[in-house]
A and B are shown apart, each in its own frame.
Chain A
């Protein structure tokens, strides 16, 4: 896969992975705590939920859209899980299915509003964000609820020393890469993102492509919500607040431009890992969390400036 990446014309993905490797090596040399198994598995736990959401976000941004409602979907998932789950495996299974269906349903509605009602993605998903946030707060105004021990242990446990969230992340990545690179649907997504008019004239049903992408985004946000539910073991109606902007940042840093049509999940993965690693690094260095806002903003802008200079 690495060889294939190197052969590809745009070197954006290579650059972003180089930055990721450098960002990993330097603090590893400096700090034994950073390179310890515990910390790396910690980073993977943190990166997993953000990374999974960002992959859904990539689908939408490839279509020159965006989804601001992913955070609310995550919050709603944790709230639903913590309110409805009981100790039997069957109940857990059903609730997991329910959460995934709710996420996909919300994504479908977003796609419907964007494609059929022709709302701008910002307004449609902004309205949805407020609506779903309201629903989550209605169900559970304060964090709490009950998550069965077994669910939390399975979701956050280890499988042969590899954290389960990392495995979930990899599964989502593989599925996304297959859809985008190997199926007709993936071609349709790139074509529609490149030029809607051309795609339409070529006979692509762009409305359906959009609905599909937003549905995936909602579904994947619910997956991330379940991973997070296992980690925090409670329902928190505001836990998803930072995810919309963080996931968009991960996608943009990963080299998929807002204009859509190019880029892909390969870069997004690195983008999400960089964001998760950076927070971890700054925390280990005892940097006040106030500076982290500034650092995040500057990193995003640097990445985008580099990309835009390169595309000239």
Chain B
């Protein structure tokens, strides 16, 4: 009896130390973020002023929201390459359907979010029921969606966004705090709660960790994967609506880069391609790193080419550090 409780205590201590290691690993992306901010503070002092940081966080919110959807998918050993095309389609649809009419804002937003979720549903069904590889399924979806939005706008997107939606995308509460960050924060909290406190969140972790075992323990693996893709589609659509509010009109190029940058944000945040491991909070850090990096390089007057080179090196560098440590 005594020895048993002793052993329990030892296990407890072991688990505690393991938890500490895990926390440090999880915070790794925030150490990198801090380092990046120190470097940018030295290279360009105005870049760490609170106003500028709020601005950068506002810029990061669309990528952050897409990244959170991508986290769900990558957690199930999947990948969603259609987020960029989905975002562009929704951005163009929002601008093209509202046409500056204030009373149309709510119905159009709801319609667009449903369309985004439906795109995710199609991806999920393809991956689970047709057993297609996620890469191929979402690649096809990307191609098809590109065709659809080009056809919808005939190659030249139009539209005007009324003030109410413009406020959500570009406005500031009390002239200080960008409203888009609030949207991002709500998404973060919901995703955090889903992963931490709901059965579905546990299903996602277990499905990604070991689909076979999860299936045998009675988890509906297919359903968990489908919902993950639906969430990803929904998040991309939400980011599309937000960007429509920011830009104020349709744009063909708004979604380019979101596929790869969102994947990079997720992986930098410590979620692994092999699934079952990772956090929403890590992805938030990853999205902030990518955006702050780009903003720093812009402030330093670096041309597009230099930014791309830095981006490539940073992605490879940070992810190598992660991989080495495991």
Q: Do A and B come from one complex?
A: yes
Measured CB to CB, the residues of A under 8 A from B are: 66, 113, 117-120, 122-124, 126-138, 141, 245, 248-249, 252, 257-259, 288, 290-298, 300-301, 304-305, 308
In order of increasing CB-CB distance, the 7 nearest A-B pairs are A131-B312, A134-B308, A293-B147, A297-B143, A134-B309, A130-B312, A294-B147
Q: CB-CB < 8 A to A136: which residues of B?
A: 305
B316 — nearest CB in chain A belongs to which residue?
A127
- Asked if B4 is an interface residue, CB under 8 A from chain A, the answer is no
In the complex, the answer to whether A297 meets B140 with C-beta atoms within 8 Å is yes
Interface contact A293-B150, CB-CB below 8 Å: yes
- Whether A308 touches B132, Cβ cut-off 8 Å, given contacts A123-B267, A290-B155, A293-B147, is yes
Residues of B within 8 A of A294 (CB): 143-144, 147-148, 151
* Complex interface: chain A residues within 8 A of B132 (CB): 301, 304-305, 308
- The contact size tier of chain B is 35 or more
18 contacts between A and B (CB under 8 A): A117-B324, A118-B323, A119-B323, A122-B273, A123-B315, A127-B311, A127-B312, A130-B311, A141-B304, A288-B151, A290-B150, A293-B150, A294-B143, A295-B147, A296-B143, A298-B144, A301-B137, A305-B132
Shortest C-beta distance, A235 to chain B (Å), equals 14
User: Which listed residue (B146, B273, B312) contacts A293, Cβ 8 A?
Assistant: B146
Q: Which residue of A lies closest to B146 (CB)?
A: A293
Secondary structure type dominating chain A contacts: helix
CB-defined contacts of A122 to chain B, threshold 8 Å: 79, 263, 273
Given A119-B323, A123-B315, the answer on whether A141 and B303 have CB atoms closer than 8 Å is yes
Distance, CA A126 to CA B315, complexed state (A): 8
Contact pick for B306, options A138, A248, A257, CB 8 Å: A138
Question: From DSSP, what is the main secondary structure of chain B's interface residues?
Answer: helix
Closest A residue to B274 by CB, please name it: A120
Which of chain A's residues have a CB closer than 8 A to the CB of B139? 245, 248-249, 297, 300
CA distance A71 to B72 in the complex (A): 29
6 more contacts with CB within 8 A, not counting A301-B132, A304-B136, are A122-B79, A141-B304, A249-B139, A294-B151, A300-B139, A301-B137
B17 CB within 8 Å of chain A: no
Residues of A contacting B147 with CB < 8 Å?
290-295, 297
Q: How far is the CA of A297 from the CA of B316 in the complex (A)?
A: 30
Q: Are A113 and B320 in contact (CB under 8 A)?
A: yes
Q: Please report the C-alpha to C-alpha distance between residue A245 and residue B286 in the assembled complex, in whole angstroms.
A: 25
Judge whether B264 is part of the interface by a CB distance below 8 angstroms. Answer: yes
Pick the residue among B136, B142, B143, B146 that contacts A258 (CB under 8 A).
Answer: B136
Q: Is the CB of B308 within 8 A of A133?
A: yes
> Are B135 and A258 in contact (CB-based, < 8 A)?
yes
Q: Among the interface residues B141, B151, B313, B319, which one has the most CB atoms of the partner chain A within 10 A?
A: B319
Q: Which B residue sits closest to A131, measured CB to CB?
A: B312
Closest to B273 in A: A120
Selected from B143, B309, B320, the residue in CB contact (under 8 A) with A119 is B320
Looking at A128, A133, A136, A293, the one whose CB has the most chain B CB atoms below 10 A away is: A293
A90 CA to B304 CA in the complex, in Å? Answer: 34
Q: Which residues of B contact A258 (CB under 8 A)?
A: 133, 135-136
What 1/0 mask marks residues of chain B from 117 to 158 whose CB sits below 8 Å from any chain A CB? 000000000100011110111011111101110110001000
- Does B307 sit at the interface, judged by CB under 8 A? yes
A308-B130 in contact (CB<8A): yes
